[in-house]
Amino acid sequence: MFEHIKAFAFDIDGVFTDGSVMATTDGDLLRTYNSKDCFGVRTAADNGYPVAIITGGCSESIIHRSRSLGVTDRHLYQLSKNKLPDFLDFCADCGLSPDQVAFVGDDIPDIPALKAAGLSVCPADAVAEVKAVCRYISPYNGGRGCVRDLVEKVLKMQGNWRFDPTTPWSAKHPDSVLKNALLTGKNIK
């Protein structure tokens, strides 16, 4: 079920995170992401796999995190109440049929996109209704490795699980990430 996947689409809350959200006094919503999950997605993007974020959430922090993962602004869908049209838009934009794309979700709003995806995936702690429609239930919870589990399985099965430490960061990160890194005093080649 992993060998025909050419792209990935993910919900955020409950998939990349454990579902917890902290509201700041200025109204931004902060989330904690698993760095291993994020490394997996960045590796997929670096190896040519299109990646989309389709979330009901909306915040500057989602935009910044998505960019650092290699998600283009075009493939970041925020305030997505009905995720199916956004999922289909992502597939069409990448020239892929939905059966070539894995979608990972954990709650009721994700079900239409999960049903359309070629590979429907959820974390171990997804709601029962989502588990009932998924082809693959990760043994890992949301925010605790379910994203990495899927990405690593797909890339390894296709011989694409590779990381090149000699490639300069500047070749793979958007300008906003590089500018922030340069502010720390670290020299980036």
Residue 61's pLDDT is what? 82
What is the predicted pLDDT for the residue at 172? Answer: 54
- How far separated are the first and last CA of the chain, in Å rounded? 39
In three-state secondary structure terms, 53 is strand
Please count the structural domains in the chain: 1
**Cβ neighbours of residue 170 closer than 8 Å, sequence gap 6 or more:** 178, 188, 189
Hey, what amino acid is at 139? Answer: P
125-135 pLDDT per residue, tens? 999 999 999 99
For the chain, what is the mean pLDDT?
87
- In tens, the pLDDT along 5-51 reads 999 999 999 999 887 778 788 877 778 888 899 899 999 998 999 99
What's the pLDDT band for 89 if we cut at 50, 70, 90? very high
Confidence bin at 180 (pLDDT 50/70/90): low
Domain contains 72: yes
In a domain, 67, yes or no: yes
Report the pLDDT averaged over residues 173-188. 57
Considering the domain boundaries, does residue 38 fall inside one?
Answer: yes
Answer whether residue 121 shows pLDDT above 80.
Answer: yes
Which residues form the domain of 48? 7-183
Task: Say what the pLDDT of residue 186 is.
Answer: 53
Q: Would 1 be classed as within a structural domain?
A: no
User: What is the model's pLDDT at position 29?
Assistant: 76
Alpha helices in 31-126 (DSSP H): 35-46, 60-68, 83-93, 111-116
Question: Does residue 189 fall inside a structural domain?
Answer: no
Q: Name the pTM for this structure.
A: 0.85
Number of continuous H segments (helices) and E segments (strands) in the chain: 7, 8
User: What's the pLDDT at 146?
Assistant: 95
**Is residue 167 domain-resident?**
yes
Half-sphere exposure of 129 (CA within 13 A, CB side): 6
Whether 29 is in a domain gets the answer yes
- Identify the CATH number of the domain in which residue 115 sits: 3.40.50.1000
Instruction: Please report which confidence band the pLDDT of residue 170 belongs to, taking 50, 70 and 90 as the band edges.
Output: very low
The residue among 133, 132, 117 whose CA lies nearest residue 54 is 117
